[in-house]
Amino acid sequence: MREAASRSIAQCPDSAWALRELLWSLDNEPSVDVFEAVTESFTFALGQDPSLYAEAERILAEALSDPAALVGAWTAFTGRLGSVCAHTLDDELCWDIQARQGTMREIGWTEAGAPGEGLAHGVQMRAALRDIHAALRRSAAPLPPGTAEGIQEEARLLLGRALAHPPGSA
């Protein structure tokens, strides 16, 4: 059911909302199978905005030999998309990212980007996003004090505004 929901979210016309929701799912999904489906949906949603897709690929490619730079650039990128996840940049995370970058090189990634075109390119991109995000979510640090409360308060305000309108109104 969560797989189907992630596919539906990815096709939502509000791509900013879709990407934010899918990032939340990537950060919090406990099931490996559903995580795979959410990664596919996130890659699809990212592809709906060619400039964001190209930026994501550029981040993954340009930092192919620098795990710390990848973590910093990817965290900044996903933060702009609405992710609130922070990561503990330590030796363990860098080793994990470096191993995954080695796998990316083995399947053809270079500093110029993912190999292939069309569907083959998308498969390579999805694999890289899955592997890198899997490593990052294991190193997620708790939110700073007050941040979670601020996010909850903002959500309450937005829900309150949305509920004030009759169903179907704009």
Please report the DSSP string for 14-75 in residue order.
-HHHHHHHHHHHHHH---HHHHHHHHHHHHHHHHTSHHHHHHHHHHHHHTTT-HHHHHHHHH
Neighbour-count burial for 95-123, b at 16+ CB within 10 Å, e otherwise: ebbeebbeebeeeebeeebbeeeeeeebb
**How far is 114 from 111, CA to CA, in rounded Å?**
9
Distances (CA, A) of 121 to 95, 103, 127, 128: 26, 15, 10, 11
Are 59 and 52 a contacting pair, CB within 8 Å? Answer: no
pLDDT (0 to 100) of residue 68: 93
pLDDT (0 to 100) of residue 59: 95
pLDDT (0 to 100) of residue 46: 93
pTM: 0.77
pLDDT (0 to 100) of residue 145: 61
pLDDT (0 to 100) of residue 151: 67
pLDDT (0 to 100) of residue 161: 74
Identity of the amino acid at 111: E
pLDDT (0 to 100) of residue 148: 62
pLDDT (0 to 100) of residue 3: 79
**How far is 92 from 114, CA to CA, in rounded Å?**
25
Per-residue tens of pLDDT for the chain, all 170 residues:
777 888 888 888 888 888 998 888 888 777 778 888 889 999 999 999 999 999 999 999 999 999 999 999 998 999 899 887 777 788 988 999 999 999 999 999 999 999 989 889 999 999 999 999 888 887 765 556 666 677 667 767 776 776 777 777 65
